[in-house]
Structure 1
Amino acid sequence: GLSNVEFVRTGYRKNAVKVLHIRREVIHHHITELIADIQLTLKTHKDYLTGDNSDIIPTDTIKNTVHALAKLKGIKTIEGFAMDICEHFLTAFNHVTRVRVNIDEVPWKRLEKNGVEHTHASIHCPEAWQFCEVEQHLSMTPVVHNGIKDIKVLKTTLSGFESLYGTIFTTLTDAKDRFFCTSVYARWKTVKDTIIQKFAGPYDQVLVLDRIPQVTQTDFNFIGLSNKDEGYNSLDNPPGNITGTVCRKPRAKM
């Protein structure tokens, strides 16, 4: 029966709120485009148990609030803006107990001509996406994570894989040289300096995830041509992951 179960955590969210913020300084324009997901947790569970929606803040209201905050407070950093969103919902509504905000920043950079930056023209340059994750509970300090993702790196040599651990099921042979293509995802917990009120390193923790797409040599034999390490096929789906977590060592006691 229901008396034997309880909610561990609840929440509902508005996904993919897109904001394009323009800051105009004399002749120079600065743009910040972001995509935000906002999740709220409320004090009661009556909407789950009885269908009572009287406490529900509509997701459309959440979307409009994000746009209004961008207008009222501006967007200096995506981390600061995420904290502004958390603070608003936790202070404006007495029945909101937790807010989680995930933001991806769209990678724009100023267009350059002959080494000179254009005053108001930008180019989409998706070398890497910056993101942040901010979660705050009522009357508690926000927890902030930053990261970068979708950094694609390709090495065409000096990436051997040898002396692997083999079993009776192993068919892979040693490769002294091979392609290595990876998409890097890095996420770290950010420590906020309460004196200077900005985010700064060093970082408490870094999590790196490498995704390795498979590269195979193209076969041209069917048209009578040889392939002298010139043509290759890459697969979209990565066959494996490499992960690593890096933590700061405890500081020596003086």
Structure 2
Amino acid sequence: MAIILGDNQYGKAESRIVRIVRDSPRHEIRDLNVTTALRGPFEPAYLVGDQSNVLPTDTQKNTAYAFTKSKGVESIEQYGLDLARHFVHEIDPVEGARIEIEEFAWERAVVDGTEHDHTWLRKGQEVRTAAVTVDSSGEYVIGGLKDLVLLKSTGSEFAGFLKDEYTTLPETHDRVMATALDAKWRFSSLDVDWNAVYPTIKALMVTEFATLQSLALQQTLWHMGTAVMEEFPFIAEVRLKAPNKHHFDYDIGRFGVENHGEVFFASDRAYGLIEATLIRDDAPPAGEAWRASAGLA
């Protein structure tokens, strides 16, 4: 029996970078969490400690910081492409690079009815994400969002499910449905207005969540992904993950107070976890697009 080294990569995880553009009195802010991972002939580093092919993770971190100024951050997708292309095309012996980016959103403070030029409030909604992979097989971009917390107080059912001797869940035709959505979508083109596409995808998913009379969270995810892929032909694949944030009627009848679907216990665990992948039947190969590093995007 022989032991061999399988898939491997190395990089710098979660470099926290804040880029302030100060070219005019009205400043702009981009707040990023950047992870880099390099792939190539790095077996000697693992097997015998030979570092001659290893670009230090500290160098990767420094490059990520420098590129926010030299290349800019018009969109996290383009920034990730710039960074990945640099490692693959300019650093020997790197053969592939994976860049994962989280972006934290800020909104301008309003002072005396006017947006302030250099003060922001942290927005508490979802985190925008991008994952870029560049290697010999091509260039791949996955956009995404996570922790988009959604709740609707009606318009959701769950009934007709399989039952056995351990089933205690009652059927319902009117329930609260809530989730913290994690969505990722793979582009089949790089000729994309990244910053225009993102809010449209988010709006489509929110609309489907709100308006569909949902018979199950699984059905809601299917409609979300379908709406996005019908709107954008250059999206080849959508992957969705949604914890079912259960809300159970709380028994206040014991206190002499009626509860007609108005007071709930919000359970944080255990929770149902619903996942779905939608893919076009003619989608181009994904290559290593979904092979994660830190798994943050």
TM-score by length of 1: 0.85
What's the C-alpha RMSD, in Å, of the aligned pairs?
2.5
Aligned counterpart, 2:222:
none
Deviations 1:35-57 (A, max 9, x none): 01111123241111111122222
- Residue 104 of structure 1: which of 102, 105, 129 is its match? 102
Q: Is the 8 A contact 1:212 1:238 kept in 2?
A: no
Q: Is the 8 A contact 1:90 1:96 kept in 2?
A: yes
Aligned counterpart, 1:129:
127
Aligned counterpart, 2:41:
43
Distance 2:5 2:105 in 1: 39
Identical-pair percentage: 27
**Does residue 1:143 correspond to 2:140, yes or no?**
yes
Structure number with higher relative contact order (C-alpha < 8 Å, ≥ 6 residues apart): 2
Aligned counterpart, 1:189:
186
**Secondary structure of residue in 1 paired with 2:189:** strand
**Does residue 1:236 correspond to 2:233, yes or no?**
no
Matches within 5 A, 1:1-254: 1=1, 4-112=2-110, 116-138=114-136, 140-194=137-191, 198-199=193-194, 201-202=232-233, 203-220=235-252, 224-228=255-259, 229-237=261-269, 239-248=271-280
Larger Rg: 1
Report which of the two has the higher share of helix: 2
Distance 2:87 2:110 in 1: 40
Query: Taking structure 1 as reference, are residues 152 and 86 closer, same or farther at Cα in structure 2, changes over 3 Å only?
Result: same
**Secondary structure of residue in 1 paired with 2:149:** strand
How far did 1:221 drift? 6.5
Q: Is the 8 A contact 2:141 2:190 kept in 1?
A: no
Structure 1 unaligned spans of 5+: none
> Which shows bigger deviation, 129-138 or 238-247?
238-247
Distance 2:65 2:250 in 1: 49
Distance 1:123 1:115 in 2: 15
Query: Taking structure 1 as reference, are residues 198 and 218 closer, same or farther at Cα in structure 2, changes over 3 Å only?
Result: closer
Structure 2 unaligned spans of 5+: 198-231, 284-297
Query: Taking structure 1 as reference, are residues 235 and 103 closer, same or farther at Cα in structure 2, changes over 3 Å only?
Result: same
Distance 2:57 2:102 in 1: 19
Number of matched pairs = 245
TM-score by length of 2: 0.74
Deviations 1:97-118 (A, max 9, x none): 1110100001212234576432
How far did 1:134 drift? 0.6
Q: Is the 8 A contact 1:110 1:123 kept in 2?
A: yes
How far did 1:246 drift? 2.9
